[in-house]
């Protein structure tokens, strides 16, 4: 979980505001790149800034949000709920609650997101009720048979690529950029997710642990010794 007031999130938010970007798509170069984490942080930042914010989960392979109860108030009419499927949605892990749309599970629910014209109409409906839209589109090429990320990214004002640090390379990033460029998406920035990246001490301990020649007690002493050094406890 990234706090909405994280020092590195604030400049990103200000740049989005200066560029007047109202709809933001977040796409990962591969699964577990941190798309949902960044989407939640950005949506929370928008809400704290006073914007009516909608969080849309289109991460079909790894959905993280579930409906809690429908939104019924003076701002959103019940007739609109059926077409836009807006509910209070909750993040299963952080328990954060947003006004949003959970993953469309049936083919009929997915159809509006597959066709560019239908999606454009859906955006018009959302913007009649909300100031900012944040879309969690999951990992590139995972939903191609059902919902194309190229269509989603093209429909949004801008797109962020989230990159898993430590398990991604330059070629994978280039492929992601080429994919979105072909879709005429406006790539705003690349977000580097270092949450799951191992520290140097963890990597050293892992290498020693795999060695079958070194005695177990010696391995334990080495691990204790390595963890004492603060300069080794940084992600590399």
Domain that holds residue 228: 200-232
Does one domain contain both 134 and 215?
no
Does one domain contain both 121 and 216?
no
Does one domain contain both 100 and 204?
no
Answer whether residue 2 is part of any domain. Answer: no
Does one domain contain both 95 and 164?
yes
What was the pLDDT predicted at 233? 56
Answer whether residue 72 is part of any domain. Answer: yes
Cβ neighbours of residue 124 closer than 8 Å, sequence gap 6 or more: none
Does one domain contain both 101 and 186?
yes
Over the chain, what is the mean pLDDT? 80
| pLDDT tens per residue across span 164-179 | 766 667 888 888 899 9
Number of C-beta neighbours around residue 143 at 10 A: 21
| pLDDT tens per residue across span 95-114 | 888 999 988 888 888 888 88
% of residues, the chain, pLDDT over 70: 77
Residue 27 near residue 144, CB atoms below 8 Å: no
Does one domain contain both 115 and 156?
yes
Q: What is the band of 62 on the pLDDT scale with cuts at 50, 70, 90?
A: confident
Q: What is the band of 82 on the pLDDT scale with cuts at 50, 70, 90?
A: very low
Does one domain contain both 63 and 137?
yes
User: What Å distances lie between residue 51 and 45, 100, 122, CA to CA?
Assistant: 9, 14, 19
Does one domain contain both 157 and 114?
yes
Give the global pTM. Answer: 0.75
Does one domain contain both 93 and 146?
yes
Answer whether residue 3 is part of any domain. Answer: no
């Amino acid at each position: 979980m990234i706090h909405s007031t994280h020092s590195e999130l604030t400049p990103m938010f200000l740049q989005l505001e200066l560029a007047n970007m109202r709809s933001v798509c977040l796409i990962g170069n591969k699964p577990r790149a941190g798309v949902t984490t960044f989407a939640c942080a950005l949506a929370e930042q928008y809400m704290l800034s006073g914007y009516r914010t909608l969080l849309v989960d289109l991460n079909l392979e790894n959905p993280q949000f579930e409906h809690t109860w429908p939104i019924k108030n003076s701002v959103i009419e019940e007739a609109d709920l059926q077409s836009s499927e807006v509910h209070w949605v909750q993040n299963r892990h952080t328990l954060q609650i947003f006004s949003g749309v959970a993953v469309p599970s049936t083919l009929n629910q997915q159809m509006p997101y597959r066709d560019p014209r239908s999606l454009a109409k859906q955006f018009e409906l959302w913007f009649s009720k909300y100031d900012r839209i944040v879309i969690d589109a999951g990992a590139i090429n995972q939903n191609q048979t059902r919902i194309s990320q190229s269509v989603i990214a093209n429909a949004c004002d801008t797109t962020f690529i989230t990159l898993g640090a430590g398990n991604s390379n330059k070629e994978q990033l280039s492929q992601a950029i080429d994919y979105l460029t072909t879709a005429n998406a406006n790539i705003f920035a690349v977000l580097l997710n270092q949450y799951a990246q191992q520290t140097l001490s963890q990597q050293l301990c892992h290498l020693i642990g795999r060695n079958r020649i070194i005695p177990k007690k010696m391995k334990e002493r080495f691990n204790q010794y390595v963890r004492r050094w603060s300069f080794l406890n940084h992600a590399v």
